[in-house]
Amino acid sequence: PFALGPRISNWDQQRAEWLSTHQNVTKNKFGRERVILISGSASKPCRNSVGDHLLVKSLKNKVDYTRLHDIELFYSMAVVDSQMSSFWVKHPMIRKMMLTHPEAEWIWWMDSDAMFTDMTFEIPFHKYEDHNMIIHGFEDLLFEKNSWVGINAGSFLMRNCQWSLDMLDAWTSMGHPRVAVEYGKKLSEVLLDRPIFDSDDQSVLAYLLVTQTQKWAPKVYLENSYYLHGYWVIIADRYEDIMANNKPGTGDEKWPFVTHFVGCKPCGKEASYGIKRCVLQMERAFNFGDNQILQRYGYQHRTLNSSKEIGRVRVDSADPLGLGLPTVSVP
C-alpha cells in the first residue's frame, strides 16, 4: 500500500521508548499534554491585493491563541512532498511533525482561512482518551446521508501514534495526482451530494469512514458540541449579538470557537461567495477574536467592520499589578 514516507509499523513502541527517557518535556507550562498547531499557505503572493493582508491577520490570530494556551505553532509555506499540493500539503506536514516531535501528543491542523473566535475556549482533551482523531462532524449526515459535508477537514487533530500514520497513508493514497481524477469520480458515487471533481482530502476522509467504518470510525471522534470548525455563513453576522448577550469560553453557538471561511478564496480565485462579502466577514471574525486580546490591554476595536481604529475601554491604573505599594514622591 501507499506510504507517505519510509514505512513505519512500530511508532507506538518507538515513541514510548523515547518518552521513557524524556519525561520532562511532555507537558506544557500549564501541565497539559503538548499540542502543535500547524497552519500554512502557499509560498507565492496571493493573486489579489487583499489576500496577503488577510493571511497575516489569520496568522496573528493563531499566534495570539497559541500564546495564550502554550500551544506550539508551526506555519508552513513549503510543499514538502512535490506530489502533494493544495489541500494535500497538510498530510505530509502532519506526519513530519509527529515524527520530529515525539513529545507532542496531538498535532492540530487548521486552515489559513479559519480563525479562532473564542480565545478562552480550550479543547476538552479528557473526552478523547479513547480516540486518535478529533474532527467536527455529524454522524447522521455522514453515515446515513453519505454526505461529503458530514465532516469538515479545515480544523482537526490527530494523536501522535501508529494509527494516525496508518490513517495518513490510507488518506493520502487517494489524493495522489496519479489517481486524483479516477478517485474523484468514485468519491462522488459514494458521497451522494458531492459534485464530480478531483479527489479532495475532506471527501476521502468521509469516504474512508463510510466505506471502511469498522476499520477507522471507532477512533474518530465526530465533535459537534462546540465549533472546532464553524461555518462562517451561520456565524459571522451574529458577532455583535454574541458580544451583547454572551461570554467567551463556551466555543459553541453562544460563542463559536473557530470561524472557517469555507467557499471563500481570500487569496485566490473561483470562490463560491463574492469576494467583498468574504473579505468583510473575515475582517469581522479577526476583529471579534482580536477584541478578546486587546481587552486584556484595555482596548477594543471601535467597530467589528474595520481594524483601523481602536478605543480605550478602561482607565489605566498607576498600580497595574494591584500591589498597593506606597508611592514615591517626585521632588
Which residues would be at the binding site for ligand UDP (CB under 6 A)? 39-42, 76, 85-87, 89-90, 111-113, 154, 265
Tell me how far apart the alpha carbons of residues 145 and 150 are, in angstroms, rounded to a whole number: 8
Which entry of ligand UDP, Mn ion, none binds 175, CB below 5 to 8 A by partner kind? Answer: none
Tell me how far apart the alpha carbons of residues 62 and 73 are, in angstroms, rounded to a whole number: 8
Tell me how far apart the alpha carbons of residues 65 and 60 are, in angstroms, rounded to a whole number: 9
In the sheet that holds 106-110, the strands lie side by side as 72-76, 35-40, 106-110, 151-159, 133-137, 220-223
* 111 contacts Mn ion (rule: CB under 5 A): yes
Which entry of ligand UDP, Mn ion, none binds 42, CB below 5 to 8 A by partner kind? Answer: ligand UDP
> What is the secondary structure of 129-143 as a DSSP string?
TT-SEEEEE-HIIII
Q: CB of residue 275 vs ligand UDP: minimum separation in angstroms?
A: 13
Tell me how far apart the alpha carbons of residues 34 and 54 are, in angstroms, rounded to a whole number: 28
Which of residues 224 and 303 has its CB atom nearest to Mn ion in the complex?
224
How far CA 145 is from CA of 88, 136, 140, 176, 233, in Å, comes to 25, 16, 7, 27, 22
Which entry of ligand UDP, Mn ion, none binds 57, CB below 5 to 8 A by partner kind? Answer: none
Q: CB of residue 113 vs ligand UDP: minimum separation in angstroms?
A: 4
Q: CB of residue 151 vs ligand UDP: minimum separation in angstroms?
A: 14
* 201 contacts Mn ion (rule: CB under 5 A): no
Q: CB of residue 269 vs ligand UDP: minimum separation in angstroms?
A: 11
Q: CB of residue 225 vs ligand UDP: minimum separation in angstroms?
A: 23
Which of residues 198 and 252 has its CB atom nearest to ligand UDP in the complex?
198
- For residues 65, 69, 72, 75, the Cα torsion angle rounded to the nearest 10 degrees is -10
Tell me how far apart the alpha carbons of residues 285 and 94 are, in angstroms, rounded to a whole number: 26
Encoded one letter per residue, x for contact with Mn ion by CB under 5 A and - for no contact, window 148-167 reads ------x-------------
Q: CB of residue 208 vs ligand UDP: minimum separation in angstroms?
A: 18
Which of residues 37 and 167 has its CB atom nearest to ligand UDP in the complex?
37
* 113 contacts Mn ion (rule: CB under 5 A): yes
Which entry of Mn ion, ligand UDP, none binds 87, CB below 5 to 8 A by partner kind? Answer: ligand UDP
Q: CB of residue 231 vs ligand UDP: minimum separation in angstroms?
A: 13
Kindly tell me the sign of the dihedral angle through the C-alpha atoms of 137, 143, 147, 153.
positive
- What length does the chain have? 331
Which of residues 41 and 61 has its CB atom nearest to ligand UDP in the complex?
41
Which entry of Mn ion, ligand UDP, none binds 118, CB below 5 to 8 A by partner kind? Answer: none
Neighbour-count burial for 37-66, b at 16+ CB within 10 Å, e otherwise: bbbbbbeeebebebbebbbebbbebbebbb
Tell me how far apart the alpha carbons of residues 26 and 330 are, in angstroms, rounded to a whole number: 50
Q: Which parts of this chain interact with Mn ion (CB under 5 A)?
A: 111, 113, 154
